[in-house]
Amino acid sequence: MPETIGFIGLGDLGAPIAANLLAAGLPLRVFNRTAAKADALVSQGAARADRAVDAASAGGIVVSLLWDDASVEEVVTRDGLLDRLGPGGVHVSMSTVSPEGSKKLAALHAAHGVQFVEAPVFGRPEAAVARKLWIAMAGPEPAKTRVRPLLDAMGAQGVFDFGEQIGAATTVKLVGNFLIISAARSMSEALALVANGGFDPKPVVEMLTQTLFPAPIYQTYGRMIAAGTIAASQSDIPEKDLGLFEKTAREVNSPTQIADMLLEIVRAQA
């Protein structure tokens, strides 16, 4: 019998990932702040934890997929979750946080003998269902080796290892989300010109995504924008992630011109 995994955070992405783990035959103990979100998984065989700490067991593995730095920190510090996990325990943190926040979390875990693996994930909920997620990971080698089969079972079509340095995988996630927003917003501005110039955006999207930009983001957003399915202002990436990119870049004196402008656009349309 494989060990029971704690899974904390059953949002739009967490729920289908947890369902993939269950479907792979891995016993789960799940927790979500809004308890009703655990019901479907419990009916599929997951055990319910009444508090986040109850999802953890000594020396075990806990996975979390939460909203931001503060929510991850709250979950691991409240009720002694890290004490419960203790030496030999591993926390796989999949939330989109700041590199600084991730380093702070790693230090906090180390103080309890818990190994911290950052494993942010790219993919919409449909991609989780279709097992087409991409995961970036960083952390101590033994912990990564231990949790790697878990990441595959979550529905990853690819897992990219960025070494032991905490912050590396988190940075990749921020950079990827920044590039997604930039591509989607640029596609919006481009297709607006096509339409306002009196031309049909559809064949333009078809040409561009078959030639210069044969990438899922351009194809998906381009077709939705051209078909009028989504407003140009919509995007799946939260403003908060763009804010994290900008804040992180400022802290290391890296350019933020494009991020600043994208934030302005996103905020004006919010």
Which residue of 183, 224, 237, 263 would you call a contact of a copy of itself, by CB under 8 A? 183
Contact flag: residue 134 with a copy of itself (CB under 8 A): yes
How far does the chain reach from its first CA to its final CA, in angstroms? 48
- 3-22: which residues touch a copy of itself (CB under 8 A)? none
Contact flag: residue 197 with a copy of itself (CB under 8 A): yes
Residues in the chain, total: 270
- Cβ neighbors of 168 (< 8 A, separation 6 or more) are 99, 118, 136, 138, 162
Interaction pattern, residues 221-260, with a copy of itself; x per rule: CB under 8 A: ------------------------x--xx--xxxxxxxx-
CB neighbourhood size of 253 (10 A): 7
Question: Which residue, 43 or 257, has its beta carbon nearer to a copy of itself?
Answer: 257
Please answer whether residues 250 and 257 qualify as being in contact, where contact means their C-beta atoms are separated by less than 8 angstroms. Answer: no
Interaction pattern, residues 66-105, with a copy of itself; x per rule: CB under 8 A: ---------------------------------x------
Please answer whether residues 115 and 143 qualify as being in contact, where contact means their C-beta atoms are separated by less than 8 angstroms. Answer: yes
By CB atoms closer than 10 A (0-12, 13-18, 19+), residue 231 is exposed
SS3 of 155, please?
coil
Q: For residue 122, which of 82, 151, 147, 86 has the smallest C-alpha distance? A: 151
Largest CA distance in the chain: 65
Which residue of 30, 147, 167, 242 would you call a contact of a copy of itself, by CB under 8 A? 167
Which residue of 79, 162, 230, 236 would you call a contact of a copy of itself, by CB under 8 A? 162
- 101-130: which residues touch a copy of itself (CB under 8 A)? 122
Which stretches of the chain bind a copy of itself, using CB under 8 A? 99, 122, 134, 136, 158, 160, 162, 165, 167-168, 171-172, 174-176, 178-180, 182-183, 185-199, 203-204, 206-208, 210-218, 245, 248-249, 252-259, 261, 264-265
Question: Would you name the residues annotated as active-site residues?
Answer: 173
